[in-house]
Amino acid sequence: MRTRVQTNRQRWAIGAVAAAVLLLSLALKSAYYQLVLTQVLLWAVMSLGWNVLCGYAGYFSFGHAAFWGLGAYTVALAMIYLDLTPWVSVPFCAVVGAVAGAVIGYPTFRLRGHYFALAMLAYPLATLYVFQWLGYQELTLPMKRDAPLLYMQFEDPRLYVVIALAMLVAALAISLWIENSRFGMALTAIKQNEPAAEAAGIDTWRWKMLALMLSGAMAATAGGLYAVVLLVLTPETVFGMLVSAQALILALFGGVGSLWGPVIGAMVLVPLAEGLNAGTGTRGRYSRRPGRHPAAGSGRRGQRPPRAEGDRHFVWRVARAR
């Protein structure tokens, strides 16, 4: 638990990072780099959600793609079938993620260690096959040109950066609160020695369930905004194994169980991967990386991205933004 002075310093640091991101967004002129910056923020939120369960409580998960994908498909299906604005469906993703966390956690917390991690891996894979069986192999969000602001279809990609940044600030504030609360102390005790925590009177099952529900809510909300930004969804890109792996890798790189670890990992690894792929002439890694899409493959200024089948709306939007 931090002292009051240390907590205030962290709050000031969060504000400073938010201001720096806004200034960077204003300095970037290319729509491609604005989308990359948005992806950095979304992956940071996803990794912070993973860190709540795995970093603070010590329960490693290979299945957080289930929450990310459920959030993405909640927004997409709500817009397609209910004509629901993302201003409502994206916050509702937090409820979907929390409920999914409760459903997943009830049977899975009977396991520990490697068995828990492997059991979590089954959920996104099973959900992937369910959505394929239901016929949702590829979803394209409808373009709402008559009311673009109402449906978060902005002309300026900087607005997506602002929304993703607000999510990141909220996720950092939640993580900071956990570190300075009884909740965080209970999770730390569970991480260090769960049998001893139970012997001391800590209701470990309750705190673990709350951690998984909060973790799922954060990941699902980030996935919901991802759907709005990318406009095209497939089960493989949101429920695939690499989605869970990327959230884990970002936290491991920056520091598991720390406030800034997932953010540092996202700020370093996501742009680094983009730069390496661009330098080797394979900028179109949207087709291979989780959270990416072939339609965003070209980063050259003034050049129309390559057209992929079924991606006409997204190609048109990226080309128009440039």
Region 233-253: mean pLDDT is 93
pLDDT of 259 over the 90 cut: yes
Half-sphere exposure at residue 112, Cβ-oriented, CA atoms within 13 angstroms: 10
Buried b (16+ CB within 10 A) or exposed e, 42-54: bbbbbbbbbbbbb
Mapping DSSP to helix (H, G, I), strand (E, B) and coil, where does residue 173 land? helix
Can you list the alpha helix ranges (DSSP code H) found in the chain?
A: 4-27, 31-51, 65-82, 86-108, 113-133, 158-179, 182-192, 194-199, 204-230, 235-239, 241-254, 261-279, 312-321
d(CA 62, CA 53): 11
Q: Are 157 and 35 within 8 A, CB to CB?
A: yes
Comparing 293 with 247, the larger pLDDT belongs to 247
pLDDT in tens, 92-136: 999 999 999 999 999 999 998 889 999 999 999 999 999 999 999
Identity of residue 126: A
Domain extent listing, the chain: 4-321
Count of beta carbons in the 10 Å neighbourhood of residue 195: 9
The CATH number of the structural domain formed by 4-321 is: 1.10.3470
Angle formed by the axes of helices 31-51 and 241-254, to 10°? 80
pLDDT in tens, 67-97: 999 999 999 999 999 999 999 999 999 999 9
